Structure 1
């Protein structure tokens, strides 16, 4: 494939020979869409944040007694294992 080369002023500056194996392919819409989406995502400010264990408004008291419940040993209700608990390694601004 041969393409014409022009200068910034719009004048002809010759031609260049390009490989058909690379530049002669049909464009793939899925790859172009992924590149555009990636560029738009990189523009975002990135000011999102999650609450960690110290910022959750729940008690730090032991949930129930250590023995005799038949369940696992638990301490604070703020831990990430529980619903409503803090995120362990969430995004920070």
Structure 2
């Protein structure tokens, strides 16, 4: 039996890493009069579907995908939400 999951992946810079894009957005917002906005950080959001035999395998694969392709583990953190979309059983 295979299960399809929707992974919602959030990649952000580590707190100790300078975020020039976030600084630029914060500056722009303050110039627009939003003086109540601070600590702007810019990140990435990725969605993908993954089909596998169980949730533990899906998480293992996602960790490897994030470490190897979607995030730079030296300067970025990631987290994801995993949602079961569909369970596929054998056709009889």
How does the TM-score come out when normalised to structure 2?
0.25
Q: Which has the higher helix share?
A: 2
Structure with bigger gyration radius: 1
How does the TM-score come out when normalised to structure 1?
0.25
